[in-house]
Amino acid sequence: MNISKVSIITVCYNASDVISKCLDSVKEQVIENVTVEHIVIDGGSNDGTLKIIRDHNSPDHVVSEQDDGLYDAMNKGLAKANGEVIAFLNSDDFYADPNVISDVVSAFKSSDAQAVFGDLVVFDPEKEDHIVRRWKAGPQGDFKHGWMPPHPTLFVRKSVFKQSGGFNLNFKFSADYEWMIRSLYSENLPLTYLPRTLVKMRAGGLSNASLKNRLKAHIEDYNAWKVNCENPYPWTIFLKPLRKITQFIK
């Protein structure tokens, strides 16, 4: 399947302090004969985020309106995506270098993969060169043993979204995980691993904001299997967070 366009979807809200780096990292992608479409879905920011986005004059589509949360905004982005391949890049994250999308496209062209993923590093928000976690995803593993690809590094063929649909809005913290169970695991889709860092991510995130949120995310992880009529091992949900421990070992 030919790839002529890759769609990158960025969801943001009051991200004036960080979004410039995200926008620049997409704009700087160097790839021959392929268009990079950047879609920004803003939740109605009031801190100057929208002005920064428009001043960059680089996103192809910008929507600014209230939404029903992160995953609702992501679904809005999906509805606007025209690329044969789609990925999500958080407003406070950025691509590791200008060759990320080029390498991803090459991986698609050289395999039968329906999705391509790579490694991710998490850095201290106050000091970009201070890496606090290194998520080496490794080759495709077993979801039942707690494995999953880092969602910000996951590039997926649009046909997969057409078949399985978007994100389930009943999940507030783990809709991306539920989507992977539904679309990747249940369908046993072939994935290709790029053994290199694709995305740099700032430490934080909604599910890590508090112990209460982490507990809710843990419960949603379990429900992600149940709504798809899949039966994980009794230890699956515990292995998923435990795998993160190795990411802190440098």
Q: What percent of the chain has pLDDT over 70?
A: 94
Backbone angles phi, psi at 202, to 5 degrees: -75, 140
pLDDT band at 247 (very low <50, low <70, confident <90, very high): low
Q: Write down the pLDDT at residue 53.
A: 94
Question: Contact, 221 vs 237, CB < 8 A?
Answer: yes
CA distance 236 to 81: 33
Dihedral in degrees, nearest 10, Cα atoms 7, 200, 186, 179: -70
CA distance 239 to 157: 28
Q: Write down the pLDDT at residue 246.
A: 66
- 59-86, pLDDT tens digit by residue? 999 999 999 999 999 999 999 999 999 9
Mean pLDDT over 189-217 rounds to 82
CA distance 28 to 166: 28
What's the chain's length in residues?
250
CA distance 33 to 41: 26
Q: Write down the pLDDT at residue 2.
A: 86
Q: Go through the domains of the chain in sequence order and give each one's CATH number.
A: 5-248 (3.90.550.10)
Indicate the average pLDDT of the chain: 92
- 20-42, pLDDT tens digit by residue? 999 999 999 999 999 999 999 99
pLDDT band at 213 (very low <50, low <70, confident <90, very high): confident
